[in-house]
Structure 1
Amino acid sequence: MMRWWPVLIAGAWLAGCAAPPESGTVPAQSREQRQQALEQIDTWRLKGRVAIINGSEAWHLNVEWQQRQEDYRIELWGPFGSGRVQLEGDGQGVRLIDSDQGVYYADDPESLLYAHTGVNMPVSGLRYWILGTTDPRYASQQSRRDQAGRLTAVQQADWQVAFSRYTRVDGLDLPDRLSVERQDLRVKMVVDYWQVSASGS
């Protein structure tokens, strides 16, 4: 069993996010063009940080995520390089490799990650939210966008998702600050590096 480091300052770090862009009337063409551009992204990579508060527990982790269509590899590690784990998944299932090179399998990344690390993170939804789009598995409620057609907030499957800042990546705005909340669980992600590739490129 790997060791994870609760970080008491994670709450303050989460609270320091910028306010989301102002919402307004968004031309349908802007929304459609942006959605089409996002749907063309089938390969991407990011490096960043994630803070997780689950009741009285807190984690502050580094993350590197690589996605290629349905296949992904996510590496998570804590302070001083301790407790590094790797999640690898595709359309068939997911496996976790811990810092002791133990290998474990499951049908979904959420249950596998929680079982072996205690970290509760909505990996399947974050795959879409992290691009500034919605998870196609769920209906969207309370969706808000700014005047550029970018999502600023949305509710899906009881998750409250907020996008507090975007950055320009190869001509497209992608989130580099977002948070997701459900009951007493809050996940805040900060992206320090983006790399994307569109279909056919």
Structure 2
Amino acid sequence: SRPRSFVFLLAFLFSGCAGLPQRAPVDNPSATWQSRQSQLARLDVWDLRARLALRTDEQGAHASLRWVRDRERHRMNLAGPFGGGRVRLTYDRNGAELRDAGGETFRGASMQQLLLRATGWNLPIEGLNYWVLGMPDPGVPARSTLDEWGRLKLLEQLGWDIEFIEYVQAGEYELPKLVFIRHKQRDKSDSEIEARLAIETWEVRNSVARAVAQK
């Protein structure tokens, strides 16, 4: 069973979050999803602020997160007990860089590798780049389930199970607000990880819209 402190942490993370008002289901969720995918695939400039809770069988942690994407460039700031302080990750066509709380800088091929090296947490950042938008990584096989409104409800990809709990409107986009991801243990060298992402603010900038969605 989950530690009581972790349950309380989740209640704190997800309290006070208001999503989209209830509305009638769409007539054809599959067709709506195809249109949504095309729309989301063009969204490559955004800024989100969120709270992140992590748990394994042995430990739990939480952090605040700010993730800014500007086409091929990414900047991710993590602050809090997670990682023992403040961690800054950046990525562009030249590779990834991490600066830890002590000011030490590390470089590598991916943000995921650097975060694992610095904090011990193995998060699927390359997949999350798509999952936070409510879409699968288009270059990787996936299994998905849609909800009544033609949005992703469940996704299996890269060895992770992703559940989209709630969405919020940001301009012309419906974007995830609450996301649960889980990596199940597949062998003795593997570990089970759960992550809960509560997105507090979405800011979207492109040629079509600039919008802010807040709780």
Deviation, 1:36, is 1.6
Residue in 1 aligned with 2:69? 67
Aligned residue pairs total 191
**Structure 1 residue ranges without an equivalent (≥5):** 1-6
Residue in 2 aligned with 1:10? 6
Q: Select 1:114's aligned residue among 116, 138, 161.
A: 116
Q: Is 1:149 matched up with 2:150?
A: yes
Show the 5 A alignment for 1:120-139. 120-139=122-141
Residue in 1 aligned with 2:89? 87
Q: Is 1:190 matched up with 2:198?
A: yes
**What's the secondary structure of 1:9's corresponding residue?**
helix
Deviation, 1:26, is 3.7
Q: Percent identity?
A: 29
**Structure 2 residue ranges without an equivalent (≥5):** 185-191, 210-215
- After alignment, is 156-165 or 27-36 more displaced? 27-36
Q: Using the alignment, how far apart are the partners of 1:59 and 1:193 within structure 2?
A: 21
| Residues 41 and 190 (structure 1), Cα distance of their counterparts in 2 relative to 1, 3 Å cut | same
Superposed CA RMSD: 2.7
Q: Is the 8 A contact 1:74 1:86 kept in 2?
A: yes
Q: Using the alignment, how far apart are the partners of 2:39 and 2:49 within structure 1?
A: 22
Q: Which amino acid aligns with 2:64?
A: N
Residue by residue over 1:17-44, the C-alpha shift from the partner in whole angstroms, topping out at 9 and shown as x without a partner, is 69xx9x9974443112211211121100
Q: Is the 8 A contact 2:29 2:146 kept in 1?
A: no
Q: Select 2:41's aligned residue among 39, 42, 46.
A: 39
Residue in 2 aligned with 1:4? none
Q: Using the alignment, how far apart are the partners of 1:168 and 1:117 within structure 2?
A: 33
Q: Is the 8 A contact 2:52 2:197 kept in 1?
A: yes
Deviation, 1:12, is 4.1
Q: Which amino acid aligns with 1:10?
A: F
Q: Is the 8 A contact 1:48 1:64 kept in 2?
A: yes
Residue in 2 aligned with 1:159? 160
Residue in 1 aligned with 2:170? 169
TM-score (ref. length: structure 1): 0.85
Higher normalized contact order (CA 8 Å, seq sep 6+, divided by chain length): 1
TM-score (ref. length: structure 2): 0.80
Q: Is the 8 A contact 1:53 1:59 kept in 2?
A: yes
**What's the secondary structure of 2:66's corresponding residue?**
strand
Q: Using the alignment, how far apart are the partners of 2:116 and 2:93 within structure 1?
A: 20
**What's the secondary structure of 1:126's corresponding residue?**
helix
